[in-house]
Amino acid sequence: MSSAGEAQPFTFEDLPVRDDRDAAWRLIRERGPIVQLEPDVALTDHALVEAAFRNPAVFSSRKAFDSLGSPLPLVPIAFDPPEHARYRHILQPFFSPRSIRPLEPKLRRQLAELIAPLPARGECDFVADVASVFPVQAFLTFFGLPMEMRDQFVAWKDAILALSDPSGAISGDEADLRHAGELFTYLSELVAARRGVPGPDVLSELLCLEGPNALTDAEVIGLCFLFVLAGLDTVTDALGFGMERLARNPDRRQEIIDDPALVPAAVEELLRLDPPAPFVPRITTAETELGGRTLPAGTRVTAYIAAVNRDEARYPDPYGVDFHRGDNPHASFGVGVHRCLGSHLARLEMRLVYEEWHRLIPHYDIAPGFSPAVKFPRGTVGLEALPLVLTPGAPR
């Protein structure tokens, strides 16, 4: 499938993500807009990703997720139109900004309680102390689950993520499978108990739907499973990378300290540079042509979103951190009909973290001698730890 003059194919593991992720995205972009990157065909060009992902009849999300072998319907991402359209129609109102906004005061209080004790310590691991914890608390709040389940959900989430490798193949050990089974049992019992019982949380509201919009137990459990699979670690990873970039770019950090109104723009720029799910796969359902290549049916095509977000034609100085880009149409939450359902909740979580952190701890640095350890190879990419030294300073 290589074209004349193209460098020899290399593999996913060859990307230097662990050492320098910006260098990794630059490396693959330099190889062209469509690259044979074993075992996939990699897309690095924004226009090609749009062309492919806006054609789900040929570039199937469902077939890409079939490889996970999930016994549950992973609603809605593991479905293509027309089934996908029904799920989006039902679910979109629950995940809209209007529905997410009322969570802000409660989530802000939770976050302040997490951050407030840290300055007295003088140091922290941002990933362990904040980024790994807060998204789980937001999930529990959104779905109306007891906060006492937080640490258990962290363990379940880690086990589920360990069950699949970047290609989608099932891996993991017996303990991971047992944890996944425990989560399934918990959710099954929870859905049965909540069915038809009114409540203010999204899970209760979903389980009270009637008529053509009613979801089966399996569909609701699959939605919850997908949220754990795709909605927790992704926010953790995005927050870890975002704080690392802020720590390494003190001028940009000072901008949001001086003007908190810049935080929403900062969220978009940090998401552009470090998308929470940088590898988004599709499987072709028929022979097709893309970017001058003929792709046989059954070809696994993966959008390398972090490379796509560095398309020089769309982003001046694409490797720089700039909170004044104005319109920032990055692809970090996907393109086309499968655009991330939970994007508004993720944006709220990130905005609150950057606002509350810099209100309470405006001055901090990466611990001396720290070299970032990036979790790779895997489907999501994030920091294993981010030790920070916290400098005393009056909170805003």
pLDDT of 4 reads 41
Q: Which fold has domain 12-391?
A: Cytochrome p450 (1.10.630)
pLDDT of 375 reads 84
Helical pair 263-273 and 233-248, crossing angle rounded to 10 deg: 100
Question: pLDDT of 230-268, one tens digit each?
Answer: 888 899 999 999 999 999 999 999 999 999 999 999 999
pLDDT of 228 reads 85
Question: pLDDT of 384-396, one tens digit each?
Answer: 999 999 987 655 6
Q: Check pLDDT > 70 for residue 9.
A: no
pLDDT of 1 reads 42
- Pair type for strands 40-43 and 293-295: unpaired
Q: Encoding tokens for residue 133?
A: 């914890």
Contact assessment for residue 218 and residue 70, using Cβ atoms and an 8 Å cutoff: no
Q: When comparing pLDDT for 90 and 160, which is higher?
A: 90
Q: Residue 157 CB: number of other CB atoms within 10 A?
A: 23
User: Which residue, chain included where needed, has tokens 């792709």?
Assistant: 295
The pLDDT-based confidence of 5 (bands split at 50, 70, 90) is: very low
Question: pLDDT of 80-129, one tens digit each?
Answer: 999 999 999 999 999 999 999 999 999 999 999 999 999 999 999 999 99
Domain ranges of the chain: 12-391
pLDDT of 8 reads 58
Percentage of the residues of the chain whose pLDDT score is greater than 90: 76
Can you tell me the mean pLDDT for 40-48? 94
